[in-house]
Structure 1
Amino acid sequence: MDITVDTLHDWATWSMIPVGILSFVSLFFQVAPYGRYSAGGAWGPLINAKIAWMLWEMPALAIPAILLWTSGVDSLITNLLSKRTLLATCFMTHYFYRAVIYPMMTRGGKPAPLSVAFLGGMFCVWNGFVQGWYITRYVPLDAPISMSTAVGALIWLWGWLNVVRADTTLIGLRKPGETGYKIPRGGLFELVSAANYFAEIVEWSGYALAAGSLPALSFAVFTFCNVGPRGWRHHKWYLQKFEDYPKHRHAVIPYIW
């Protein structure tokens, strides 16, 4: 059987959901060993937190950028009001922020195991290919922006803006030179402990609606499966660490979970 790039894309797309479900279950038992849960060198050599973020997020920016360039980046410019341009803008905006801007915003941070950066990078290679190939090979250059695409993009924008707001809130909890943890307040943090994760779930759910495709839906499902249990663990950690932690807050989904 001839294995084409399209065949690999199909496999990569379909496998994302079961892998996400497996991650969802396993993360209730295994702590992701970085940040406040850093396990020292138990997971391999430690590297600078800023470098780790750049390493594991960059493939999701670079691979779609290469695919867009090789498919004719000028076509995006001449079709600014097309579905392809809108989806590319949403996806690339998030990962430019995550791979370039966010690491520069952070102050210090605990070193991350090289193995964790490698695994994160492998997922971003995987997802960068899945989303980039879909946008450049399956969305026509002149595909119009439908109502569902426009609504999905607005939901994506709300989610992305709140991801940035939540990140800024968390970074601002510490003044330069300070260590330790504080209770985040304001915005979505008044509703959930993991405001950044909730916003990211909303962001990629909106993107899935905008795209109307299995690759985008698979990524949205994987995002929930990956960050949901981590947000739940953050919530438990906050409740154990702070006696005055707001008891009305939920973990990840306002009023639900």
Structure 2
Amino acid sequence: MTMTLGEIHAKKRRYETTFVVCIISFFLPFGIVVFFPRLGILIFPIAGGVSLLAYKSFNDFKVLSNQYKRHYVEAELKKVLPQCVFDPEKGFTEEQVFKTKLLKKHSRYHSEDYLKGDIQGKTFESADVLIQDVRSGGKSSHVVTIFQGRLFIIDFEKRFRQNVYLMPNRVMFSKMYEGMTRVDTESITFNKKFDVYSENHISAFYLLTPHFMEKLMAFSKVAKNTYFGFVKNKMYVAVDTRKDAFDLTMFQPIDVESFEDVKTEVNLIKDLIAMIPS
């Protein structure tokens, strides 16, 4: 049975309310015991029951998030990409992501919301990717998000002349491109935005026409940082949006604007494909 966005929103609010009530109910008995110590024996049974209810509410919310993706997100995606296949529980493997050489491996990795379809006659795959690093400082540690966004892998029939990578300026991945040439274009603005690595200058200049560079910089509409790779017969685009594109989040409004972001990304990729020299 298909759920409407209104029904999903109503369930979301119900689970959020239940979760808040559970949190309050968990701590309230401890306050009561201060004034009525004899009731202390009841704390642990109450806390245990409330914890189980909170856990169930949290799991129900995760199920609802998947239902939202299955019933609503998929339908919205098909408006942009009619023949696409969407699997919210599937993602890219670590090997698939890190062999692109766009993103560096760190201690935590997760991928979901797999999407496959056709853009401008080219087969593509896409998925949400989260890369985090756990960093320690003395007795404490903290988690740093390195990348959070979508990765696109687009297949071409023909190979690119040489491999070309574009990194956000000042991202310290230079060791990943040892043996390649750092290329500066004639555009000062572009050079401030991207570091370009290629197997030779000619291949980079052949690909990076002024109009093409304009389209690459247009990705700033949807993300602060975007990574590009033109490798063998594949084009890689990693868009660091710092959010999960389609997940429901507790106590946050449903982000229907994420569909517009994906639509913008797809349209920009269409433009890039159309401008790549044959």
Q: TM-score, normalised by structure 2?
A: 0.28
Highest relative contact order (Cα 8 Å, sep 6+), 1 or 2? 1
Larger radius of gyration: 2
Which is strand-richer, 1 or 2?
Answer: 2
